[in-house]
């Protein structure tokens, strides 16, 4: 008899649902893709319904449900921190903590009320949900596990040992000390939205000078034994949280940037310092823990694990023999981790699925696609060689929306819901940022490249990067030929595309290579700034109609705008 376990998260950010059947991910979906609200905190109603529908199950057939948070874990510790910070912390408790705790503590009742479910219900500790997601989808039987994010119930960082079916914590960094919350703080100070725009700060970092690096080293440091420490005088998120940064931060780095204010050298320098010190403390932690435990394999998760520049530095450091990061390393992926935790802790399950492909979301039939095209009143044609036609348009400097197969999970588009362009011309970056993505002009793009030719163009050390979670230096001989995807520091975040995993996308890039001699295409997510990646054909058609995308390849159908 098969056992189905539903994992989910809710109420904080990036809510999602995952369905595990006999230890394997059968479905995974992020609520934002259905609700069209980026980083939504909403109950994942649509994601849960879709996961069950995909598997052909009703809630009565679900053997267990797992939530990604244990609300009572460390409650005494957090109450002690609140009391110690009085009276400032009263405002934080009133506006944030009390409401979150009430909702999280009532999640079992809420689930029962919504679905009539009376079966086993598990509360997975947040950082262990992340750890199980990384370790039990990794190719490793024995590895270190590193979880780095903003915070869970009481911690912000976990170092653990994974051996066989067990994960044993080795070191914790406890809230309020947090590398992830440092990124939230700097993001807010730079005039962006915390818990949303940290990627913008990472993209800004290479434009800055290292003048603030010594100061940032005083803000956070690695103190040994797997533990990070922050100087909390720089912050206010643990007190009143009127703003995330405190007076000492402003005294050191200057007044915050207004959202409508131009970026200057000071802003760029703080972003640079943040990225540099992030890399330093992560490398120091990994160096000590790998040496102490004699293990050179690492499974990594948490929101900070999406920092592809730091990940590239870790890979290039020589400290590891191998690194695995799940595509949805942030809180959405903890829904899958909660299910994996419950499978073992609740049912004694064993075995695992090695590096499952991230294409676990909805897909649409030809009939559904054609119905959406007709409803939109668009002229279209059906073609048996959509890859060749799309490649020809890209070679002719057209911007192409590419919508195929099942929706990918995680924040990166991986060739199923992508906007594609010719990577050869530097001006393409500006055209995409202005006409299509409607975002800041400094922000970079990355390429998708044939896996078998990646080491020819990039200094990958022979390592694949199928989920766009690593940045590598571009080889000097190719920098002028990849002008649209080379960042100011000479690096690029790349996706290696294997024919066995993505045959259609691989054929497209191979066709483009045959026309141009370049075995890569520019790949960015199919959305505009502030919106989630498109999910349905209707989503794709709206984005196509409202932006400067020239053509849309959706299933076997090709749509072109007038005059293109």
| 256 C-beta neighbours (distance < 10 Å), count | 17
pLDDT for the residue 498: 98
Which band of pLDDT confidence, cut at 50, 70 and 90, is reported for residue 249? very high
**pLDDT confidence of residue 74:** 77
What CATH architecture applies to the domain 366-560?
A: Alpha-Beta Complex (3.90)
Give yes or no for residue 100 having a pLDDT over 80: no
**pLDDT(10) > 70:** yes
- Candidates 402, 440, 387; CA nearest to 525 is 402
Is pLDDT at 129 greater than 70 in this prediction?
yes
Supply the mean pLDDT for the chain. 95
Instruction: Encode pLDDT of 319-371 as tens digits.
Output: 999 999 999 999 999 999 999 999 999 999 987 899 999 999 999 999 999 99
Residue 95: band (very low, low, confident or very high) from pLDDT cuts 50, 70, 90 = low
Of 284, 287, 281, 294, nearest to 319 by C-alpha is 287
Residue that the structure tokens 């749509």 belong to: 559
At the fourth CATH level, the homologous superfamily of domain 138-325 is ATPase, nucleotide binding domain (3.30.420.40)
What's the rounded mean pLDDT across residues 392-400? Answer: 98
**Tokens (6 digits) for 399:** 């911007």
**pLDDT tops 80 at residue 83:** no
Which is more confident, 105 or 217?
217
| pLDDT at residue 82, rounded to an integer | 72
- N-terminal to C-terminal alpha carbon distance within the chain: 55
Q: Is the pLDDT of residue 240 over 90?
A: no
Q: Mean pLDDT throughout 544-549?
A: 96
pLDDT bin (cut points 50, 70, 90) of residue 96 is low
pLDDT at 68 over 90: yes
pLDDT of residue 351: 76
138-325 matches 366-560 in fold: no
pLDDT tens-digit series, residues 194-205: 999 999 999 999
Sign of the alpha-carbon torsion through 306, 400, 472, 136: positive
> For the domain bounded by 4-124+333-345, which CATH number is listed?
3.30.420.40
Q: Residue 401's closest CA among 555, 514, 562?
A: 555
Task: Residue 258: count other Cβ atoms within 10 Å of its Cβ.
Answer: 8
pLDDT value of position 560: 97
Count Cβ atoms below 10 Å from residue 280 Cβ, excluding itself.
18
13: annotated active-site residue: yes
Confidence of residue 543 (pLDDT cuts 50, 70, 90): very high
Query: What number of helices (H) and strands (E) belong to the chain?
Result: 20, 21
Least confident of 179-188, 235-244, 414-423, 475-484: 235-244
Residue 1 has pLDDT above 70, yes or no: no
Do residues 471 and 312 make contact, with C-beta atoms less than 8 angstroms apart?
Answer: yes
Point out the catalytic residue in the list 13, 39, 133, 238: 13
- H or E element that contains 189: helix 179-189
pTM: 0.96
Q: What is the pLDDT of residue 92?
A: 67
Confidence of residue 99 (pLDDT cuts 50, 70, 90): low
- Per-residue pLDDT at 22 exceeds 70: yes
Residue range 284-322, pLDDT digits in tens: 999 999 999 999 999 999 999 999 999 999 999 999 999
pLDDT computed for residue 75 by the predictor: 73
pLDDT value at residue 94: 64
Contacting residues for 173 by C-beta, under 8 A, at least 6 apart: 155, 156, 157, 158, 179, 226, 227, 228, 229
Domain boundaries along the sequence of the chain: 4-124+333-345, 138-325, 366-560
Reported confidence tier of residue 101, pLDDT bands at 50, 70, 90: confident
Q: Tell me the residue ranges of DSSP E strands in 314-388.
A: 322-324, 381-382
Q: What is the mean pLDDT of residues 164-189?
A: 97
For the residues 253-258, what does the mean pLDDT come to?
98
Spatial separation of the C-alpha atoms in residues 181 and 251, rounded to whole Å: 19
Q: Which residue has the higher pLDDT, 267 or 91?
A: 267
Within 13 Å, how many C-alpha atoms sit on residue 1's CB side?
A: 4
Q: What is the pLDDT of residue 562?
A: 81
């Amino acid at each position: 008899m098969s056992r189905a376990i539903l994992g989910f998260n809710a109420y904080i950010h990036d809510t999602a649902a995952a369905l595990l059947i006999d230890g394997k991910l059968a479905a995974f979906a992020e609520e934002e893709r259905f609700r069209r609200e980026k980083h939504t905190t909403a109950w994942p109603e649509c994601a849960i319904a879709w996961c069950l529908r995909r598997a052909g199950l009703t809630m009565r057939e679900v053997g267990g449900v797992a939530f990604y948070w244990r609300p009572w874990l460390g409650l005494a510790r957090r109450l002690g921190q609140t009391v110690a910070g009085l009276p400032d912390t009263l405002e934080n408790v009133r506006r944030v903590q009390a409401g979150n705790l009430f909702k999280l503590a009532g999640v079992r009742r809420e689930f029962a009320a919504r679905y009539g479910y009376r079966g086993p219900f598990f509360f997975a500790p947040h950082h262990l949900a992340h750890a199980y997601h990384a370790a039990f989808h990794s190719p490793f039987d024995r590895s270190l596990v590193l979880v780095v994010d903003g915070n869970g119930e009481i911690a912000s960082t976990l170092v653990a040992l994974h051996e066989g079916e067990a994960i044993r914590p080795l070191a914790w960094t406890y809230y309020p000390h947090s590398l992830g919350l440092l990124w939230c703080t700097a993001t807010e100070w730079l005039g962006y939205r915390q818990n949303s725009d940290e990627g913008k700060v990472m993209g800004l970092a290479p434009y800055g000078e290292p003048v603030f690096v010594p100061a940032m080293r005083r803000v956070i440091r690695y103190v040994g034994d797997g533990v990070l420490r922050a100087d909390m005088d720089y912050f206010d998120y643990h007190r009143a949280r009127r703003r995330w940064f405190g007076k000492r931060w402003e005294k050191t780095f200057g007044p915050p940037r207004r959202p409508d204010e131009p970026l200057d050298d000071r802003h760029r320098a703080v972003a640079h310092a943040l990225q540099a010190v992030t890399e330093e403390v992560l490398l120091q932690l990994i160096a000590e823990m790998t040496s102490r435990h004699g293990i050179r394999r690492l499974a990594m998760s948490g929101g900070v694990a999406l920092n592809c520049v730091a990940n590239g530095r870790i890979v290039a450091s020589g400290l590891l023999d191998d690194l695995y990061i799940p595509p949805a390393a942030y809180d959405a992926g903890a829904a899958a981790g909660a299910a994996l935790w419950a499978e073992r802790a609740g049912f004694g399950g064993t075995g695992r699925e090695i590096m499952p492909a991230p294409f676990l979301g909805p897909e649409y039939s030809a009939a559904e696609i054609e119905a959406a095209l007709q409803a939109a009143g668009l002229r279209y044609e059906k073609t048996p060689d959509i890859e060749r036609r799309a490649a020809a348009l890209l070679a002719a400097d057209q911007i192409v929306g590419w919508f195929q197969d099942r929706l990918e999970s995680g924040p990166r588009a991986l060739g199923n819901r992508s906007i594609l362009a010719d990577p050869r011309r530097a001006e393409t970056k500006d055209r995409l940022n202005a006409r299509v993505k409607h975002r800041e002009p400094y922000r970079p793009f990355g390429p998708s490249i044939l896996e078998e030719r990646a080491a020819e163009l990039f200094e990958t050390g022979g390592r694949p990067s199928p989920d766009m979670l690593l940045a590598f230096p571009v080889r000097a001989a190719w920098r002028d030929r990849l002008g649209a995807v080379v960042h100011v520091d000479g690096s690029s975040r790349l996706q290696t595309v294997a024919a066995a995993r993505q045959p259609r996308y691989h054929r497209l890039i191979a066709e483009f290579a045959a026309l141009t001699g370049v075995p890569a295409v520019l790949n960015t997510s199919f959305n505009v700034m502030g919106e989630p990646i498109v999910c349905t054909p209707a989503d794709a058609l709206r984005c196509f109609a409202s932006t400067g995308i020239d053509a849309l390849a959706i299933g076997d159908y090709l749509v072109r705008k007038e005059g293109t």
